[in-house]
Amino acid sequence: MKMRNPPVNSLSLEFLTELLISLEKLENDKTFRGIIITSDCPGIFSAGLDLLEMYGRDPAHCAEYWKAVQELWLRVYLSNLVVIGAINGISPAGGCLLSLSCDYRVLANNPKYAIGLNETLLGIIAPFWFKDVLVNTIGHRAAERALQLGFLFPPSDALQVGIVDQVVPEDQVQSTARSVMAQWLAIPDHARQLTKNLVRKPTADRLLQQRDADIQNFVRFISRDSIQKSLHVYLEKLKQKKG
């Protein structure tokens, strides 16, 4: 599955909806056993959640948006398919969450392709389920530092901390992802799927048990004047960077 939402594969509501529909089709088609998620935008896996879906929007829109974000995470995280991330670009925040929700992550070895939950750098907070997935992946202490400092790990550091499973030369990302897929597909589906569920269900359940409250929290948080100001400043910084 090649994500294509130029220029930066931001996860807009429309794009999230497209991804959800595509994933559901693959999930329900019994001829598919696995997917490799990668990007069609050069140098960018995904710029994460679309800031314009959260900035200057009314509460109803923010609620609809957050519901779609939850939906995508649950769909990928609990997928019965083998999901491999072939990460061929930078993946901050929501892009990192998408990567972390895969069963295995292969990152292209390019110092620009940093990965991490950088929410604090935007003046916002990663929700508890983003945090849970990071803690599950790199451990409590490393997650504590990474989250507070908004670390975006370049490939060598990403491998060392365990936020990705493998770093390979850029031209080998897709072939490596395919080899890894073959290895995972050698396991009987039912055994692998039940095991995946066993490991991941408690984390997913924490959100499933309070989805509406999580949406309300998000809407309350994102609607605050101070948070809207932080988003404004960050968006301006992105614009200024262009000169």
Among 7, 111, 188, 243, binds ligand LFKQWZQV (CB under 6 A): 7
> DSSP string covering 60-80, please?
HHHHHHHHHHHHHHHHHHT-S
Stretch that binds ligand LFKQWZQV, among 89-97, 137-145, 186-194, 197-205 (CB under 6 A): 89-97
Residue 214 engages ligand LFKQWZQV in binding (rule: CB under 6 A): no
Among 3, 19, 83, 124, binds ligand LFKQWZQV (CB under 6 A): 124
Work out the number of other CB atoms within 10 angstroms of the CB of residue 39.
24
Q: At what angle do helices 59-77 and 13-28 cross, to 10 degrees?
A: 30
Stretch that binds ligand LFKQWZQV, among 32-40, 124-132, 133-141, 197-205 (CB under 6 A): 124-132
Work out the number of other CB atoms within 10 angstroms of the CB of residue 89.
27
Tally of residues, the chain: 243
- How much is the CA Rg of the chain, to the nearest whole Å? 17
Task: Give the Cα separation of 123 and 230 in Å (integer).
Answer: 6
Task: Give the Cα separation of 199 and 68 in Å (integer).
Answer: 24
Helix (H) or strand (E) holding 37: strand 34-39
Q: How far is the CB of 166 from ligand LFKQWZQV (least distance, A)?
A: 22
Residue 61: partners with Cβ closer than 8 Å, 6 or more residues away? 53
> What binding mask, one character per residue, do residues 29-58 give for ligand LFKQWZQV by CB under 6 A, x or -?
---------------x--xxxxxx------
Active site includes 119? yes
Q: How far is the CB of 104 from ligand LFKQWZQV (least distance, A)?
A: 22
The catalytically annotated residue of 48, 53, 85, 119 is: 119
Residue closer to ligand LFKQWZQV (CB basis): 34 or 48? 48
Catalytic residue annotation: 49, 94, 118-119
Instruction: By CB under 6 A, name the binding residues for ligand LFKQWZQV.
Output: 7-8, 10, 44, 47-52, 90, 92-94, 118-119, 122, 124, 126-127, 238-239, 241-242
